[in-house]
Structure 1
Amino acid sequence: MKKNYLLGMALMASLSFYSCDKEVVYVQDGNGVESVADGAQIITLQVENGGDGLATRAGRPLYSAEAKQTIENVKLWICDGDGAGNVKYVKEISDWNTDDVSTVYTTGGHGRQTTIELKDADKLAAGTYKIYAVGYSNSSAYTLTDVTNVAKESTFNENMVLPCSTVGEEIFAGQMELTVEKGKGFKKPVVLNRQVAGAFAYVKDIPFMEGAKYLKLVASAQNQSLVLGNFNSFDLTGNGSGNANVKYVVNGTNGKSGSETYVISTIDLNKWFTAIKDDNGDNLIDAGENWKNPCRPSSSPTAGTYPTFQKGSAFGGEFVIPFAHVDGKQTLTLQLTNAGGKVLRSWKVNLGSTDEQLKQTITCWNSGSTDWSTSLSGELANTYSLVRNHLYGIGTRMNDEANPEKPGVDPDPNPENPNDKPESLNNKQELVLKVNDNWEVIHGMELD
């Protein structure tokens, strides 16, 4: 799971983002920030790294719970603090990940940061303000009109609703409140956190069944728009470790109608195995020399430039727009299907019985009243919500490289690596999900 932070102008408070590696964009909360000259107004934007899209797409693919970021753009707004949303200052930053735009930082968290000083006509008069920031990708799957069109002297909508053409894409956002005193300067951080959830299946020992072609991770619901609001805005210092600042928020809306399940990710087994066969008669798809890494470039790839996996495994995952649980319906299921979609075998994917989420009341966006007034209780091991900045994983995979000390090597499964351990599907009826929040918290999932 992953987390990215944006350390915003000294004006800004913190913004936070996580759940599948921590990817949060934020501005530090003021602790340990150096003093500034009288009257200086400085904002430090910081995107912290806190997490299957195996195909080329607009945002980064999800290969693990690793804390990292690949966003290209960050946009920041300073608005009057009276609730009217009048924009007093706008800053757009492109090519965020290049060294001449932002630099690596390791204080508090780790990620990239840049500093903005307000001077001359841009300086803020005494008063109260709200600062917002959003970090996003080029050619995004989101409709970003509400982000790109908000200019100085226009009105800022605190709860932007962004339609999405996919199940989700990584995006960061955060907010802070600022009080400017006459004759005094400031240096404040704004924290941007990941605004989506993540879900993946990392499995091995796949049953052989005639005609088997896909492993699909399906869900009981799917939202088609993301709401940027009700931010966490904390500097989450551990990737998926959880702390007192963890939130449980469903910031998705515009759900698909109907009673069918919705596919989050699809693993094409023909991309992982040269043939779907069982020559040794153990009722599992042959691995060994029959296995291949579909992410490995075909010609002389540079080690460390592509993800590696345990030999014999298969991986699929995606960033997901958060959604609330559906009473009486299994939230996630892993299905083995043929080319036509017929389910040959399935496994229920459950939260562990001691998972902290089962104790929580979930805050949800209420599209009818356009506010955060809905509270959802009754989270169960098999009927649970996918919440913002939490990563839900079958198996354990903490890094894009199966063994970061040996980049470019697809290792044999023994000895087992506790940080890279695909879940066996042999003779099991239950899958275990792990939710990673620096992602803020990591939840362990079980197969049923």
Structure 2
Amino acid sequence: MKKNYLLGMALMASLSFNSCDKEVVYVQDGTGVESVADGAQIITLQVENGGDGLATRAGRPLYSAEAKQTIENVKLWICDKAGNVKYVTTISNWDKDGSTPYTTGGHGRQKTIELKDADKLAAGTYKIYAVGYSATSDYTMTAVTDVKKTEEGPSKYTFNENMVLPCSTAGEEIFAGQMELPVEKGKGFKKPVVLNRQVAGAFAYVKDIPFREGARYLKLVASAQNQSLVLGNFNSSDLTGNGSGNDANVKYVVNGTNGKADGDYAYVISTIDLNEWFTAIKDEDGDNLIDAGENWKNPHRPSGSPAAGTYPTFQKGSAFGGEFVIPFAHVDGKQTLTLQLTNAGGKVLRSWKVNLGSTDEQLKQTITCWNSGSTDWSTSLSGELANTYSLVRNHLYGIGTRMNDEANPEKPGVDPDPNPENPNDKPESLNNKQELVLKVNDNWEVIHGMELD
């Protein structure tokens, strides 16, 4: 009689070019699971890179392309071919007593579950679904949290795999995926299920900021904004080469819906308050740039003597702002992203168009989009252009280069001078620029080079 192993999953945060980690959740093949009695079915849920201690809101803040995540809950359920839920479980307080540390193949946390008695799966075709999310999520999570076993739900409960999650913000990091699972009588199974990030990301990392009288904010503005996320049409592949775009399993999917429509096509993704980065907005040396040097400060450095590595560092003289974003489709004839320098009242004092590079792979793609009218994935969007492009799932769109939360990981807690320049931490100069270059990074799946206009 063979042992049956139901594999589990791991959330791997991988946003670094040179990191072998992946910002995904995957089901592993029993590594580290102790032997069990014949006929046992084991689920091992593993989440890698489980927390950075920097979160100040639901989910984690976006400070770079580094591999991180801070989910507290992992929910897994198994459906039969008809959509009846045969098994469901939720791991709460994941980063603490909900799981235990592991070191095999990573440095995350894991939880092993044994399916016993009535929970064991009979022969048939199943799908495993799993979602990793924050305990105080900005999403309305009832579509996930209300999943029950069929016999426990009202009347005959079945599960709809296209879950729509309204969001109270522009977006928050969340992971999801699925795996098809054929179970044969007397036979075991060993297959991975991968949960990838379901949102996009966008950031601006800049220096040499032009001085304008009354300047207060740098705002990254978009032509569209969706207010709900659709969990479905998953890319459940274990992506390789973080952000390289060379993985054959890379997808271009817009899984946002319920868009805003105010006619202005100017939705703020992130805002940099210059008063938080400079002690004064001034130009005493007359070079038409906001004075840096001793006038610069790191707003994310706690007061006192904080421990190195517990807060992000930046190049001196730079400014950073970024957020996770619910993916949205491009708007024909409208600039997708714009960087604006404004005063306190919102008056635009200077602006830069943010474009994809002319050779970016996304320009060759047909984008798969959620069709809210027919509630399916039947919409295909073509015509991606350098200035009118979609923000797609699990891609990171960045102005400048910033691969880690630490400007120099070899010297944690140090805000370095910009010279010599670090190719992995290089803010974009705004001096004499008319066009910004946007870089897209996923495993994030692909890295897109963006240009300032």
CA distance in 2, matches of 1:400, 1:15: 11
Please report how far the alpha carbon of residue 168 of structure 1 lies from its aligned counterpart in structure 2 after TM superposition: 0.1
- When residues 245 and 113 of structure 1 are mapped into structure 2, their CA distance, relative to the original with a 3 A threshold, is farther
Q: Which moved more, 1:415-424 or 1:32-41?
A: 32-41
- When residues 109 and 254 of structure 1 are mapped into structure 2, their CA distance, relative to the original with a 3 A threshold, is farther
- When residues 271 and 98 of structure 1 are mapped into structure 2, their CA distance, relative to the original with a 3 A threshold, is same
Q: Which moved more, 1:435-444 or 1:50-59?
A: 50-59
- When residues 426 and 399 of structure 1 are mapped into structure 2, their CA distance, relative to the original with a 3 A threshold, is same
CA distance in 1, matches of 2:293, 2:161: 53
- When residues 96 and 89 of structure 1 are mapped into structure 2, their CA distance, relative to the original with a 3 A threshold, is same
CA distance in 2, matches of 1:202, 1:217: 11
Whether contact under 8 Å (1:204, 1:312) holds in the other structure is yes
Please report how far the alpha carbon of residue 279 of structure 1 lies from its aligned counterpart in structure 2 after TM superposition: 0.5
Gaps of 5+ in 2: 150-155
- When residues 315 and 407 of structure 1 are mapped into structure 2, their CA distance, relative to the original with a 3 A threshold, is same
Task: State the secondary structure of the residue aligned to 1:253.
Answer: strand
After superposition, what is the alpha-carbon deviation per residue over 1:20-73, rounded to whole angstroms, capped at 9, x for unaligned?
995322224899999987533222323355999998211100000001111000
Whether contact under 8 Å (1:212, 1:276) holds in the other structure is yes
Q: Which moved more, 1:50-59 or 1:140-149?
A: 50-59
- When residues 32 and 92 of structure 1 are mapped into structure 2, their CA distance, relative to the original with a 3 A threshold, is closer
- When residues 103 and 434 of structure 1 are mapped into structure 2, their CA distance, relative to the original with a 3 A threshold, is farther
Whether contact under 8 Å (1:25, 1:192) holds in the other structure is yes
CA distance in 2, matches of 1:89, 1:368: 31
Higher relative contact order (Cα pairs below 8 Å, separated by 6+ residues): 1
Task: State the secondary structure of the residue aligned to 1:146.
Answer: helix
Whether contact under 8 Å (2:12, 2:67) holds in the other structure is no
After superposition, what is the alpha-carbon deviation per residue over 1:354-412, rounded to whole angstroms, capped at 9, x for unaligned?
11111111000000000000000111111100000000000000000000111100000
Q: Which moved more, 1:151-160 or 1:350-359?
A: 151-160
Please report how far the alpha carbon of residue 5 of structure 1 lies from its aligned counterpart in structure 2 after TM superposition: 19
TM-score by length of 1: 0.90
- When residues 311 and 142 of structure 1 are mapped into structure 2, their CA distance, relative to the original with a 3 A threshold, is same
- When residues 322 and 21 of structure 1 are mapped into structure 2, their CA distance, relative to the original with a 3 A threshold, is farther
- When residues 111 and 239 of structure 1 are mapped into structure 2, their CA distance, relative to the original with a 3 A threshold, is farther
Whether contact under 8 Å (2:327, 2:393) holds in the other structure is yes
Q: How many pairs does the alignment contain?
A: 445
CA distance in 2, matches of 1:441, 1:366: 24
- When residues 10 and 328 of structure 1 are mapped into structure 2, their CA distance, relative to the original with a 3 A threshold, is closer
Whether contact under 8 Å (1:71, 1:137) holds in the other structure is yes
Q: 1:59 aligns to what?
A: 59
- When residues 52 and 165 of structure 1 are mapped into structure 2, their CA distance, relative to the original with a 3 A threshold, is farther
Q: Does 1:209 align with 2:207?
A: no
Task: State the secondary structure of the residue aligned to 2:275.
Answer: helix
Q: 2:356 aligns to what?
A: 351
Task: State the secondary structure of the residue aligned to 2:362.
Answer: helix
Please report how far the alpha carbon of residue 14 of structure 1 lies from its aligned counterpart in structure 2 after TM superposition: 16
Q: Does 1:165 align with 2:168?
A: yes
Whether contact under 8 Å (1:272, 1:314) holds in the other structure is yes
Residue among 137, 140, 155 paired with 1:140: 137
Q: Which moved more, 1:23-32 or 1:296-305?
A: 23-32
- When residues 349 and 170 of structure 1 are mapped into structure 2, their CA distance, relative to the original with a 3 A threshold, is same
CA distance in 1, matches of 2:3, 2:429: 28
- When residues 20 and 423 of structure 1 are mapped into structure 2, their CA distance, relative to the original with a 3 A threshold, is farther
Whether contact under 8 Å (1:4, 1:69) holds in the other structure is no
Gaps of 5+ in 1: none
Whether contact under 8 Å (2:72, 2:93) holds in the other structure is yes
Whether contact under 8 Å (1:208, 1:278) holds in the other structure is yes
Q: 1:68 aligns to what?
A: 68
Whether contact under 8 Å (1:20, 1:391) holds in the other structure is no
- When residues 13 and 23 of structure 1 are mapped into structure 2, their CA distance, relative to the original with a 3 A threshold, is closer
Task: State the secondary structure of the residue aligned to 1:115.
Answer: strand
CA distance in 2, matches of 1:315, 1:334: 12
- When residues 275 and 7 of structure 1 are mapped into structure 2, their CA distance, relative to the original with a 3 A threshold, is farther
Task: State the secondary structure of the residue aligned to 1:302.
Answer: coil
Whether contact under 8 Å (2:12, 2:47) holds in the other structure is no
- When residues 15 and 264 of structure 1 are mapped into structure 2, their CA distance, relative to the original with a 3 A threshold, is closer
- When residues 16 and 435 of structure 1 are mapped into structure 2, their CA distance, relative to the original with a 3 A threshold, is closer
Please report how far the alpha carbon of residue 155 of structure 1 lies from its aligned counterpart in structure 2 after TM superposition: 2.1
Q: 1:406 aligns to what?
A: 411
Please report how far the alpha carbon of residue 157 of structure 1 lies from its aligned counterpart in structure 2 after TM superposition: 1.5
TM-score by length of 2: 0.89
Q: 1:104 aligns to what?
A: 101
Please report how far the alpha carbon of residue 217 of structure 1 lies from its aligned counterpart in structure 2 after TM superposition: 0.1
CA distance in 1, matches of 2:341, 2:316: 20
Q: Which moved more, 1:354-363 or 1:23-32?
A: 23-32
- Percent of residue pairs bearing the same amino acid type: 92
- When residues 329 and 36 of structure 1 are mapped into structure 2, their CA distance, relative to the original with a 3 A threshold, is farther
- When residues 345 and 17 of structure 1 are mapped into structure 2, their CA distance, relative to the original with a 3 A threshold, is closer
Whether contact under 8 Å (2:14, 2:67) holds in the other structure is no
Q: Which moved more, 1:174-183 or 1:36-45?
A: 36-45
After superposition, what is the alpha-carbon deviation per residue over 1:192-219, rounded to whole angstroms, capped at 9, x for unaligned?
1100000000000000000000000000
CA distance in 2, matches of 1:138, 1:195: 17
- When residues 70 and 54 of structure 1 are mapped into structure 2, their CA distance, relative to the original with a 3 A threshold, is closer
Please report how far the alpha carbon of residue 237 of structure 1 lies from its aligned counterpart in structure 2 after TM superposition: 3.4
RMSD: 5.1
Whether contact under 8 Å (1:18, 1:195) holds in the other structure is no
Whether contact under 8 Å (2:2, 2:39) holds in the other structure is no
- When residues 326 and 6 of structure 1 are mapped into structure 2, their CA distance, relative to the original with a 3 A threshold, is farther
CA distance in 2, matches of 1:362, 1:282: 44
CA distance in 2, matches of 1:325, 1:269: 29
- When residues 317 and 409 of structure 1 are mapped into structure 2, their CA distance, relative to the original with a 3 A threshold, is same
After superposition, what is the alpha-carbon deviation per residue over 1:418-441, rounded to whole angstroms, capped at 9, x for unaligned?
000000000000101100011111
CA distance in 1, matches of 2:207, 2:293: 12
CA distance in 2, matches of 1:63, 1:362: 27
Please report how far the alpha carbon of residue 287 of structure 1 lies from its aligned counterpart in structure 2 after TM superposition: 0.3
- When residues 112 and 188 of structure 1 are mapped into structure 2, their CA distance, relative to the original with a 3 A threshold, is farther
Please report how far the alpha carbon of residue 139 of structure 1 lies from its aligned counterpart in structure 2 after TM superposition: 1.1
Residue among 216, 231, 234 paired with 1:231: 234
Please report how far the alpha carbon of residue 146 of structure 1 lies from its aligned counterpart in structure 2 after TM superposition: 0.8
Task: State the secondary structure of the residue aligned to 1:33.
Answer: coil
- When residues 339 and 75 of structure 1 are mapped into structure 2, their CA distance, relative to the original with a 3 A threshold, is same
Task: State the secondary structure of the residue aligned to 1:270.
Answer: helix
Whether contact under 8 Å (1:390, 1:437) holds in the other structure is yes
After superposition, what is the alpha-carbon deviation per residue over 1:241-283, rounded to whole angstroms, capped at 9, x for unaligned?
2331111000000000133310000000000000000000000
Whether contact under 8 Å (2:50, 2:109) holds in the other structure is no
